[in-house]
Every structure is written in structure tokens, then in C-alpha cells.
Amino acid sequence: MLKLFTEIMKNLFKRPATYEFPREDRLAQSDYRGMQILDLEKCTSCKLCAIDCPAYAIEMKANPANNKLYPVTDFGKCVFCYQCVRVCPVKAYVTSNIYKLASFEKEALIKDVLKATSSES
């Protein structure tokens, strides 16, 4: 026990190593795999992201303006593996490090780019 005594005395006067979240904000690094957002202009409706998603979280819906299909992601099922980002042939997904995605209703987790104005968290 004596071996740790010097260590304990040093740590008595140091700042604790705990981050008091949510009072202190703990930022993720810029490379963190956070929420991915679709850029609707570039999407060509090839459906590759929906076919290759391992968690079956992407569903193709029809755009009422021009009847093209576009993908809608359910972030309750998404595991953030970024397979959709990798496999898209036109690089239509924008990556970010947003990780604060919790909400009180399940429906708020289905992020649809066309309805973005009403359900933003």
C-alpha cells in the first residue's frame, strides 16, 4: 500500500478526471462517426445504400415533387457503420460528428430530409 502513497498525495490536489456532462460539453473529435445527412441534389435513386445497410435501417420513399425515390434513415436502427456513405457512387452523404441524437419519441428518430423543417433536434 505504501507504493501508492506518493501517487495518492499527488492526486489529492489535481483536478478530477470526470467530465460533468451535460454541464460541461464533451466534444467528439472531428473524425468521429456521427450522424450522416443526405444531400438531395446529388441522389440518383440507385438504392445501393438501402440494399447494403446491415441494420436494414434505410427505406426508399417517393418524392412528391418529381416522383423520384430517395432514402430515409431510421436512426433508431442505424449503427453508424457508414456503409451507406462508402457505397454511394456519387458521394451524396455528408458526414458529421453530431452525436446528441436522443429524443423522447420514436418517430422523431426517423430523419427525413424533405420534412427537415418540422422535426429538427
Partner 1 sequence: MSNSKYLEIPVGPQHPALHEPLLFKVKVEGERIAEITPFTGYNHRGIEKLCENNTFLKDVYLAGRVCGICNVVHTTCYSEGVERIGNIEVPSRARYLRTLLNELERIHSHMLALAVMGELIGFHTLFMLMMRDREPILALKESVAGNRVQADYVMPGGVRKDIDSEKIEKIKKTLEHVEERMRYYEKVFKEDSIITKRLSKVGKLDRPEVSKYGFVGPIARASGVKTDVRYEDPYAAYGEIPFNVITREEGDSWARTLVRISEVFEAINILRYTVDHLPDGPIGPKVPIRKVQAGEAISRVEAQRGQLVYYIVSKGGDKPYRVKIRTPSFNNIMNSPLLFRDANIGDLPVILASLDPCISCMERLVVIQKDGLIETKTVMSLAR
What residues does 59 pair with on adjacent strands? 72
> Which x/- pattern over 33-72 shows residues binding partner 1 (rule: CB under 8 A)?
x------------------x-x------------------
State the nearest-atom distance from the C-beta of 36 to partner 1, in Å.
12
* Closest distance of CB 118 from partner 1, Å: 30
76-80 long-range contacts, CB within 8 A, separation 24+: 76/106, 76/109, 76/110, 79/54, 79/55, 80/33, 80/34, 80/35, 80/36
83 binds partner 1 (CB under 8 A): yes
Q: How far apart are CA 63 and CA 15, in angstroms?
A: 54
96 binds partner 1 (CB under 8 A): no
Contact positions toward partner 1, by CB under 8 A? 1, 3-4, 7-8, 11, 17, 28-29, 31-33, 52, 54, 79-83, 86-87
